[in-house]
């Protein structure tokens, strides 16, 4: 199976994917530093990312955006809704179950991506690639056990929280598969402009429904919101969506499992969070699974 499915880009898509994973890995640090409600963080991250990309979209891709029919915008709204659902469910799950359980279930998304890509995109997964998915997912479970063995207290309703996290993984997988389908036909800037706008609108609606304050935050929070937009937003998910135009969804999905490794390293450096042996071994297993996927392309 080949990784490059469109004309060769000026930048190696594997390098772009690596940059996006590094940027996305900063998300947990920025979220840890912020004291705003999770939905507010997600909303401003997506909204500011959209604002940063808007000038480029208007200046260079206005014709493409005007050429979309109402039906095209309706279909393009699907990934945006899926991304918003992923954010909303995942953040909510953390109020009901342990972080270890939530992260483990969310990172089961490659299994759903493999199923969706096989059924909908005709992307065939070899036995080696499927083994890579299983190994990488097992490594994520082991990595999360590093926190679990430390004895965290489960949430008030762990079964409910686990169900939310699993549903979040399904939404994330559907977002990746849908993105792969659209990115084979559309340029990245028009695509993400529509998707991020829809995602921001949905998250704003969730914030309003839950009566969360939209503006009463100190300057430090606004700087963190901007950091989330520039780092995990533009350099992270936007470059990730660009990579989906050149790399198969299974490759992108499994590579996302490197995020916990990058986040753990940054947490050690910036938050003084010591990585235990179980977490370290889990990170190594995740990387081994990613190698299985990369070596088979």
Over residues 244-264, the mean pLDDT reads 73
pLDDT for 56 equals: 80
Tell me if 9 is assigned to some domain.
no
pLDDT for 296 equals: 60
Tell me if 2 is assigned to some domain.
no
Tell me if 5 is assigned to some domain.
no
Domain limits for position 38: 15-295
pLDDT for 151 equals: 45
What's the domain count of the chain? 1
Tell me if 7 is assigned to some domain.
no
Residues in Cβ contact with 103 at an 8 Å cutoff, skipping those fewer than 6 apart? 140, 144, 165, 260
* Burial of residue 82, with CB atoms counted within 10 A of its CB: 0-12 exposed, 13-18 middle, 19 or more buried: buried
Cβ atoms 21, 255 nearer than 8 A = yes
If phi > 0 it is left, if psi is from -120 to 50 it is alpha, else beta; for residue 180 that is alpha
Q: Is the pLDDT of residue 153 over 50?
A: no
Q: Which of 181, 297, 195 is nearest to 237 (CA)?
A: 195
Residues 210-228 pLDDT 10s: 999 999 899 999 999 999 9
Tell me if 4 is assigned to some domain.
no
pLDDT for 121 equals: 60
Q: Is the pLDDT of residue 283 over 80?
A: no
pTM for this structure? 0.73
Tell me if 242 is assigned to some domain.
yes
Tell me if 94 is assigned to some domain.
yes
pLDDT for 43 equals: 94
**CA 193 – CA 57 distance, rounded (Å):** 7
Tell me if 49 is assigned to some domain.
yes
């Amino acid at each position: 199976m080949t990784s490059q499915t469109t004309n060769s880009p000026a930048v190696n898509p594997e390098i772009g994917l690596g940059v996006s994973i590094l940027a996305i890995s900063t998300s947990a640090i920025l979220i840890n530093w912020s004291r705003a409600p999770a939905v507010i963080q997600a909303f401003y991250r997506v909204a500011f990312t959209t604002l940063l990309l808007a000038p480029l979209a208007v200046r260079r891709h206005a014709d493409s955006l005007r050429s979309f029919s109402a039906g095209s915008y309706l279909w393009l709204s699907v990934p945006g809704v899926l991304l918003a659902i992923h954010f909303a469910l995942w953040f909510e799950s953390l109020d009901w179950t342990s972080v270890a359980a939530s992260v483990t279930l969310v990172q089961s998304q490659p299994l759903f991506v493999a199923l969706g890509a096989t059924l909908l995109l005709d992307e065939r997964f070899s036995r080696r690639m499927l083994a890579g998915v299983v190994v990488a997912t097992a490594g994520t479970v082991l990595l999360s056990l590093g926190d679990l063995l430390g004895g965290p207290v489960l949430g008030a309703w762990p079964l409910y929280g686990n169900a939310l996290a699993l549903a979040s993984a399904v939404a994330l997988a559907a977002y990746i598969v849908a993105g792969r389908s659209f990115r084979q036909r559309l340029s990245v800037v028009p695509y993400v402009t529509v998707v991020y706008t829809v995602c921001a609108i949905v998250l704003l609606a969730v914030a309003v429904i839950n009566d969360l304050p939209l503006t009463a935050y100190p300057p430090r929070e606004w700087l963190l919101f901007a950091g989330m937009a520039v780092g995990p937003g533009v350099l992270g998910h936007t470059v990730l969506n660009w990579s989906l135009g050149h790399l198969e969804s299974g490759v992108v999905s499994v590579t996302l499992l490197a995020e916990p490794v990058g986040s753990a390293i940054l947490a050690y450096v910036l938050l003084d969070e010591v990585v235990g042996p179980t977490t370290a071994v889990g990170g190594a297993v995740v990387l081994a699974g990613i190698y299985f996927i990369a070596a088979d392309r």
